[in-house]
Structure 1
Amino acid sequence: MAGNGKHALILVENLSVPFDRRVWQESLALREAGWEVSVICPRGTKRDTEAYAEIQGVRIYRYPLKAAVGGPLGYLQEYGTALWHSYRLARKVGKVDVVHACNPPDLFFLLGKRFKRRGARFIFDQHDLVPELYLSRFERGKDALYRAVCWLERQTYRTADVVIATNESYRAAALSRGGKRPEEVFVVRSAPAVERFREVPVDPTIRRDKPYVLCYLGVMGPQDGVDYALRSLAKLRDEQGRTDWHAVFVGGGDTFDQMVALAGELGLADQVEFTGRVSDEDLVRYLSAADVCLSPDPLNPLNDVSTMNKVMEYMAMGKPIVSFELREARVSAGEAAVYAPANDESQFAKLIVALLDDPEARRRMGEIGRERVFGPLSWEHSARSLVAAYAAAVGGASVPRQRDAGAGVARPDVTAAVPQPRQSPVEDKHGQVAAGVDDADAAVADQPAEGA
């Protein structure tokens, strides 16, 4: 087998495993390829609570971690705690051949350097462009902390033998500001576990006696655009005169309470339902009832170049999507979505109307989405690229890079989408999992995909 019994240690701070579905898919793909796999991650609050578990041959070591609250300093405390526990548990794992570090944070290169001195290889799995995340989440500009996260990203790139990118935009960042060679960067796109997304008979109670259901699924953080969705729904009512819909927002996150309050302020409390985090069974029930799904992520430095898990999951369910114009949203969804000009809530509302009034377009877009997720965007393609990345890391040989399976539309020039490096070792530069989210949050966490 490809792994020949070699040992991979995966480090992840953002979510517990196997709740982190991307990391879990990667772990199982590596096991299938003959690798021994250990994972170090935080404990969940309602699931994945054991300090140690072995599941399907994957050994999982978990540590206690309190998610950050407040501003950047809270994240520094969270990340420092995670780094210490990861170091402590890594000493129990034994000899490893590859350290596979998933960000955020961009601190695991410190452990990577330690293991490299013992002969291991270091793979950087870049779930987020952290400088863009910093700019998009905190709106503090290019201050000292921003320059610090840029420096940490550069150190991580420098330490990495191989970089795994979630899409071509992230790959462009690794090649340009990361200085990596093309044969050192592999695209491993996040993909939904399609077996979870099977339509069930529509539950009429979800409609609340309305003809149509609109649905949002995902994390509710500062950069996720739930506020844009709510204001768009207010314009759908006020500017388009449409009240023949009920909207369901599935998930949770840092701004959940604020979004519930905003719905009230906009007079939408009777038409908008916030479910909080739900079971997989209820998730599928809500999505099966949806006529149109919402992807309201606004244009910002992070969202434009990130792959949103919710887009992939909407497509897996065969649902048409309304999105803002973001370059990676268009690469992922193609003709399965319609695109409003960036951050234009009135146009977003008009596109919802157009889809509600065109059942044939909804059907066609749903079919296109399912074909993409079950075909060129399926996990099978990503798993092959993952195994190739490992082969390049341990073999040191050049492995031909597979064409990105997401290429279904004309690809824009993504190099301009990511800030370029400067010459100073501590200068400027941030992709999509909400940092610090645990399993009390959304049914599926967005990451670049994903980045999710």
Structure 2
Amino acid sequence: MPGRALILVENLSVPFDRRVWQEATTLRDHGWDVEVICPQGTDRDTEREAVVDGVAIHRYPLEAASGGPQGYLKEYATALFHSIRLARAITRRAPVDVVHLCNPPDLLFLVALVLRVIGRRHGVRTRVVFDQHDLVPELYLSRFRPKRDALYWGLRLVEFLTYRTADVVISTNESYRAKAVGRGRVPGHRAFTVRSAPALDRFKQVPPEPELARGREHLLVYLGVMGPQDGVDYAVRALSQLAERRDDWHAAFLGGGDAFDDVVDLAHRLGLDDRVTFTGMADTPDVRRYLSTASLGIAPDPLNPLNDVSTMNKIMEYMAMGLPMVSFDLTESRVSAGDAALFARPNDVDEYASLISELLDDPVRRKQMGEVGRERVAGALSWTHSQSSLLAAYGSVDPAPPRRSSPVEVTDR
């Protein structure tokens, strides 16, 4: 039976984190009392406490890491402190029935252990759902170190401890689920795939605005985070080659991240100042404007240990807008996009530029690919299917024993 669910997320604010927000509202719609602990946003989600569409959100201040792994250790320690503090305060009223851990980092299992202790004092068994958004050890290899060092094995350890703590693991795709069942030793019946899927009511076509292409025939769009592992530098280098072949395009990069300044500088050094626009983080109306005007989407995520097995939100969102795309040939990118994308050899900038040019010359093919993509996200890859998997995962956890009639009050000491 539905009860109280507490969702913990560290790397994005809510409701800006679209996957977490879809999960929270799905649970709410099916009778759960849902609360969320997350960091404050910078330009949005800035209130410390908010109730949005019936979901109570508790936010804490957090400075995003910069530099090497040491910066992330500081960020994660701060997040862990605030998450435990807020979780204890929330359980003063009553314990939570389910704590839902969204990584990264893989340290939030420590909060779950605290909540289990509190739950026992109330006569309630608090269950744990591990929502694996990223493979953190592979993220470390892709972002910082190409070799497996002591820190990599430390990350593998805390990941394994999170698997051990969880009653249920939900993964964003089958590749992640295979990791949970394999190296995580999670029984298959406790491992569920809940794919991230765009909300189709958010991604709707609006009238195109040709002026966004700055006087050119075609607008190319990149949408998403700009981190070192996201390949925006590959996109800029490919566009530099494209500029040598044709001048009928302009590119817009919508998003931000800790590689933002580096890719802006790279575009300047390659002489692309009049060919590319960097908008920074974009809200929903601007995303619709740019994607409705674009001829194609750019998905330049290079081959690395993380990207090959990850589902890219940008690919799903391009398809939701009926936008064809060019991607490097990665395992899960091909699973997601299918015939809605052209695939270049991994990390081959020259072929990537060639495929962009090829697609720009073929409007009929672009239209067909866009229709294929839209059909995929409205059908087999829709949130309707993911929603069913999420509810099945929640339904599979052991029912909690009856609450005591007079719960023991827990103070936040």
Q: Work out whether the TM-score is over 0.5.
A: yes
Residue identity matched to 1:96: V
Q: Distance in 1 between matches of 2:108 and 2:257?
A: 25
In structure 2, the residue matched to 1:100 is 100
**What's the CA shift for 1:35?**
0.9
SS in 2 for 1:101: strand
1:317 maps to amino acid: M
Match of residue 45, structure 2, among 41, 44, 48? 48
Please give the secondary structure, in 1, of the residue aligned with 2:384.
Answer: helix
Give the distance between the partners of 1:45 and 1:103, measured in 2 at CA.
20
Q: Gapped runs of 5+ residues in structure 1?
A: 397-452
SS at match of 1:196: coil
CA RMSD of aligned residues (A): 1.2
Shift of 1:25: 0.6
- 2:35 aligns to what? 38
1:199 to 192, 197, 205: 205
What SS class does the counterpart of residue 190 from structure 1 fall into?
coil
Contact (CA 8 Å) 2:87, 2:115: kept in 1 or not?
A: no
CA deviations 1:242-294 (Å, max 9, x no partner) are 12111111111111111111011111111111111122111111111110111
CA distance in 1, matches of 2:219, 2:14: 32
- Residue 134 of structure 2 is aligned to residue 112 of structure 1: no
Structure 2 regions of 5+ residues with no counterpart? 401-413
Superposed displacement of residue 116, structure 1: 3.0
CA distance in 2, matches of 1:219, 1:211: 26
CA distance in 2 between counterparts of 1:377 and 1:395 reads 30
How much does 1:187 deviate? Answer: 0.6
- The answer to whether 1:87 aligns with 2:87 is no
Tell me the amino acid that sits aligned with residue 45 of structure 2: D
Say yes or no: does 1:352 pair with 2:335: no
Question: Following TM superposition, by how much is the alpha carbon of 1:140 offset from its aligned partner in structure 2, in angstroms?
Answer: 5.4
Q: Does 1:377 align with 2:381?
A: yes
Q: Which residue of 2 aligns with 1:215?
A: 221
Contact 1:115/1:121, CA 8 A, preserved across alignment: no
Whose Rg is larger? 2
Identify the match of residue 75 of structure 1 among 72, 75, 81.
72
Residue in structure 2 matching 1:62, options 59, 62, 67: 59
Corresponding position of 2:249: 245
For 2:332 and 2:399, how far apart are their aligned partners in 1?
Answer: 32
Q: Deviations over 1:6-52 (max 9, x none)?
A: 11111110111111111111001001111111111111122212221
Shift of 1:108: 1.0
Once the two structures are overlaid, the 10-residue window that deviates more, 267-276 or 365-374, is: 267-276
Change (3 A) 1:305 1:140: closer
* TM-score, with structure 2 as normaliser: 0.93
Letter in 2 for 1:139: R
Give 1:266-415 correspondences, 5 Å limit: 266-395=270-399
1:96-139 deviation digits (Å, cap 9, x = unpaired):
11111000000011122233342111111000000000000112
Alpha-carbon distance between aligned partners in 2 of 1:194 and 1:212, rounded to the nearest angstrom: 25
Shift of 1:55: 1.6
For the residue of structure 2 that corresponds to 1:294, the secondary structure is strand
SS in 2 for 1:27: helix
Say how many residue pairs are matched: 391
Cα distance in 2 for partners of 1:144, 1:53 equals: 41
Q: Is the 8 A contact 2:84 2:114 kept in 1?
A: no
Deviates more, 1:292-301 or 1:133-142: 133-142
Which residue does the alignment assign to 2:404?
none
- Distance in 2 between the 1:46 and 1:360 partners? 40
1:148 corresponds to: 154
Q: Assess if the C-alpha contact under 8 Å between 1:9 and 1:38 holds in 2.
A: yes
Residues 181-196 of structure 1: pairs in structure 2 closer than 5 A: 181-196=187-202
Q: Are the equivalent residues in 2 in contact too, given 1:322–1:351 (CA < 8 A)?
A: yes
Give 2:330's aligned amino acid: L
- The alignment partner of 2:201 has SS state of helix
Summarize deviations over 1:345-383 as a string: whole Å, max 9, x none.
Answer: 111111111111111110000000000111111111111
**Local SS of the residue matching 1:194:** coil
Tell me the amino acid that sits aligned with residue 89 of structure 2.
K
Secondary structure of the residue aligned to 1:48 is: coil
Displacement of 1:393 in angstroms is 1.5
Contact 1:98–1:394, Cα closer than 8 Å, also in 2: no
| TM-score under structure 1 length normalisation | 0.85
Q: What is residue 228 of structure 1 aligned with on the other side?
A: 234
CA distance in 1, matches of 2:15, 2:215: 38
Q: Tell me if the contact between 2:227 and 2:257 (Cα under 8 Å) persists in the aligned partners.
A: yes
Quick check: 333-342 or 373-382, which moved more? Answer: 373-382
SS class of match (2:398) = helix
> d(CA) in 2 for partners of 1:59 and 1:75?
27
Which structure carries more relative contact order (alpha carbon 8 Å, separation 6+)?
A: 1
CA contact (8 A) 1:171 1:186 kept: yes
- Within 2, Cα distance between the matches of 1:160 and 1:392? 12
For 1:44 and 1:24, how far apart are their aligned partners in 2? Answer: 15
- Tell me if the contact between 2:40 and 2:46 (Cα under 8 Å) persists in the aligned partners: yes
